[in-house]
Amino acid sequence: MKRWNAKLRILSWAIFLIGMPVFVWGASPYEGKTLTIVVGYKPGGGYDRYARLYGKYLPKHIPGSPTIIIQNMPGANSIIAANHLYSVAKPDGLTIGTFNNALTTGQLTKVEGVKYDLMKFSWIGSAASDAVILTVRSDLPYKTFDDMRKAKEIVIGTTGPGSSTHDFPSILKEFTGVNLKLVPGYSSSADVMLAIERKEVDGRAGSYDSIKPFIDRGLVRPVIRNRISAPGIENLPVDEELTKDPKGKAIMAVNAAPTRIYRPYVAPPGTPADVMKILRDAFANASKDKELLAEAKKSKMTIDFASAEEALKVVREVLNQPAEMAQEIGKYIKFGD
């Protein structure tokens, strides 16, 4: 790494010193370079697959066609990666990264260990949005929300506080009067699906993308969604409309907001504007790339690019909550691994 770092450093300095004229003369900052995408999770997970997918098609859309490598930096639900991108990675455009969208809530509720500030990152955008839904097993008789409210008890399996499988139903239970019994402790959301088949639990909440295969298979039926809509669940009741309590509505809104930027991509704070423009355009164009879309479709990954401005808007919306609201939210949305 020392040799690479030395070379990169010399080159970056050369670029910045000689600066504008070289750039104006058309030499791309990415010519012959390596672009690293830091992923806050281990290989194989959703964030990792999105990064590798983009990593495959980005060189086409970046002048200079840099080599792209993916580096996994798992830990603390991607807080470690976010901290690294915030203070350790150099803002020369050669390192970018992706992490959990829920880090917005993490920052709002002042989770211990958070050393980043999402407002200060140089935002690239978000590759996809995702709805969070609540589903129940298909053979259960609940078809509408009123059915569910009348039910004596609906057992929902979760993986523990801090994941959408737990927080979404927990908030629903508190504010909409539905009698949900939460059973945390499953090691993964797939285990919850098995528990549903076993009739050990009645349903599961979570990301629409990850539950969709099971909906298609007919195992579960979606019944409630958060404010993000997606093909197939447009007509579902939205959680915010199911409660009259303004505090509840606010908490649900804050919980839902980050899912608009479900797969965020950022560069370290202070990355120069011209480099950012290249990156933002590259991501936007890659998201329209026919081959990328075809591969994404085959792998069942939705692509729904949100620009940096939209992303910052969402982040601002969440972070501007007053302190008391942050405290209330912290009661329901714990940050977990």
Partner 1 sequence: MLDAFIQGLFVVFEWQTFLIMLLGIFLGFWVGLLPGLGGSTTLALMLPFIYKMSPVEAFAFLLGMHSVVSTTGDITSVLFGVPGEGTTAATILDGHAMAKKGEAGRALGAALMSSLIGALVGAFALALAIPVVRPLVLSFGAPELFMLAVVGIAFISSLSGQGGRALLRGFLAGLLGLLFSLVGQDPQAGVQRFTFSQLYLWGGLDLVPVLVGLFAVPEIVDLAIRGTSIAGELPQGNLGRGAWEGVKDTFRHFWLTIRCSLIGTFIGIMPGLGGGVAQWIAYGHAVQSAQDANERSGFGKGDVRGVLGPGAANNSKEGGALIPTIAFGVPGSSAMAILLGAFFMQGLMPGPDMLDKHLTLTFSMVWTMVIANTVTVVLSFFLLNQLAKLTMVPGSILIPFILFLAFIGSYTSNNHLGDLVVFLFFGFLGYLMIRSSWPRAPLVLGFVLGRIAENNFYISTIRYGPSWLLRPVVIILIVLTLLVIVYPLLRFRKGRQAAEEEPT
Partner 2 sequence: MKGFLNSRSFLALAGGMIAGYALYASLHWPFKTALFPRVVGIPLLALSLFELVLCMAGVEPEREGHAVDFELAKDIAPGLARRRTVAIFSWIFGFFVLILLCGFPLAVPLFVFLYLRLAGKHGWVLTLLLTLLSWFTMEGLFNRLLHLPFPDGWIFSLWG
Q: Nearest distance from residue 201's CB to partner 1, in Å? A: 7
Q: Which of 237, 189, 72, 50 is nearest to 129 (CA)?
A: 50
Which residues lie closer than 8 Å to 252 by C-beta, 6 or more apart? 171, 175, 226, 227, 239, 240, 243
Structure tokens at 321: 């909550």
Among positions 10, 14, 20, 88, the unique one binding partner 2 when judged by CB under 8 A: 88
Among positions 60, 71, 179, 194, the unique one binding partner 2 when judged by CB under 8 A: 71
| Residue 151 DSSP one-character state | S
Among positions 8, 28, 52, 227, the unique one binding partner 1 when judged by CB under 8 A: 52
Q: Does position 336 bind partner 1 by CB under 8 A?
A: yes
* Cβ closest to partner 2, residue 7 vs residue 217: 7
Q: Nearest distance from residue 84's CB to partner 1, in Å? A: 10
Q: Nearest distance from residue 23's CB to partner 2, in Å? A: 25
* Cβ closest to partner 1, residue 84 vs residue 280: 84
Q: Nearest distance from residue 65's CB to partner 2, in Å? A: 18
Q: What distances in angstroms separate CA 140 from CA 148, 180, 182, 202, 218, one per listed residue? A: 10, 14, 17, 8, 12
Is the distance from CB of 32 to CB of 64 less than 8 angstroms? yes
Nearest-angstrom CA–CA distance, 188 and 295: 26
Q: Does position 107 bind partner 1 by CB under 8 A?
A: no
- Identity of the residue numbered 83: N
* Cβ closest to partner 2, residue 93 vs residue 125: 93
Angle at 100 between CA 254 and CA 35, to 5 degrees: 135
Q: Does position 198 bind partner 1 by CB under 8 A?
A: yes
Q: Which of 222, 47, 208, 41 is nearest to 130 (CA)?
A: 208
Q: Residue count at the site for partner 2 (CB under 8 A)?
A: 11
Alpha helices in 2-144 (DSSP H): 2-18, 20-24, 46-61, 79-83, 103-108
Q: Does position 201 bind partner 1 by CB under 8 A?
A: yes
CA 154, chain centre distance (Å):
28
Q: Does position 17 bind partner 2 by CB under 8 A?
A: no
Structure tokens at 157: 């399996």
| Residue 238 DSSP one-character state | B
* Cβ closest to partner 1, residue 80 vs residue 230: 80
Residue 273 partner contact from partner 1, partner 2, none using kind-dependent CB cut-offs of 5 to 8 Å:
none
Nearest-angstrom CA–CA distance, 178 and 224: 11
Of residues 205-224, those binding partner 1 (CB under 8 A)? 213-214, 216-217, 219
Among positions 15, 35, 38, 282, the unique one binding partner 2 when judged by CB under 8 A: 38
Structure tokens at 310: 């939209």
Among positions 128, 155, 172, 275, the unique one binding partner 1 when judged by CB under 8 A: 155
Q: Does position 69 bind partner 2 by CB under 8 A?
A: yes
Torsion of CA 122, 128, 131, 132, to 10 degrees: -70
Structure tokens at 186: 């499953």
Q: Does position 10 bind partner 2 by CB under 8 A?
A: no
Nearest-angstrom CA–CA distance, 55 and 42: 16
Q: Residue count at the site for partner 1 (CB under 8 A)?
A: 55
Of residues 206-245, those binding partner 2 (CB under 8 A)? none
Options 7-15, 176-184, 249-257, 303-311: segment touching partner 1 (CB under 8 A): 176-184
Interface positions with partner 2 (CB under 8 A): 1-2, 5, 36, 38, 69-73, 88
Interface positions with partner 1 (CB under 8 A): 42-44, 48-49, 52-53, 56, 71-77, 79-80, 83, 112-113, 155, 157, 159-162, 181, 183-188, 190-191, 193-195, 197-198, 200-201, 213-214, 216-217, 219, 295, 298-300, 334-337
